[in-house]
Amino acid sequence: MLKRKMTCLSALVFLCFSCKGAKAQDVMVTFYTHGSFWKTNSIGNKHDFYRGNIFDGAQQLFAFGDTFYVQSNRYITLRFVAGPHTFGASSAKRPELRETLNLDLKAGERYFVRVQGETLLFGVQHGRLDLIPCAKAQVELAHAKPLNDQALSEEVRSKQAALVVDEAGPPSCQ
């Protein structure tokens, strides 16, 4: 009986350490807006600040628009499991193909994704996601502020502690 309890206890300890090891293998992705307020909604502009939803596949993660007025220079860092992901930026229920970015996330890595809008005729905006090198992202994030919790989708908000990386300032390259 004692041997069985010890075996169960050691299995439990192993599982706990395995879970902690998995946390260290999380992938951090920082999404941020960086665009020109003065050029926003100019026909043909590809550097609008973005005012729409961000998706991972069909799952809505959050929306850039955490206040009544949409603001540029906002960011949020989320944890993802390693592997292929299709991120999208759209004001619709699903992003179009041109509004997506396919990434094969590697364990333990950090990624920076700039989200901007492209304005077409009649003020219609499409989202654009660009993978940005860390050094450039650091410059663009210099005056950025974290996105408020109210911007998170309900499903993400329910898992906020596990998914959202809470940092005092814009994330570093490490």
Q: Does some domain include residue 4?
A: no
Return the H-helix or E-strand segment holding 55.
strand 53-56
Q: Does some domain include residue 37?
A: yes
Q: Does some domain include residue 138?
A: yes
The pTM is what? 0.77
Q: Does some domain include residue 21?
A: no
What's the pLDDT score for residue 133? 96
What's the pLDDT score for residue 110? 94
Distance CA 66, CA 32 (A): 13
Q: Does some domain include residue 71?
A: yes
How many separate domains does the chain show? 1
Q: Does some domain include residue 56?
A: yes
pLDDT band at 10; cut points 50, 70, 90 = very low
pLDDT tens digits, 52-84: 889 999 999 998 765 555 567 889 999 999 999
pLDDT tens digits, 130-141: 999 999 999 999
- Structural domain harbouring 153: 26-165
- Residue 114: name the closest of 131, 98, 139 by CA: 131
Q: Does some domain include residue 18?
A: no
Tokens of 158: 């329910």
Q: Which amino acid is at 54?
A: I
Alpha carbon distances (Å) from 17 to 5, 12, 21, 23, 79: 18, 9, 6, 10, 19
Q: Does some domain include residue 41?
A: yes
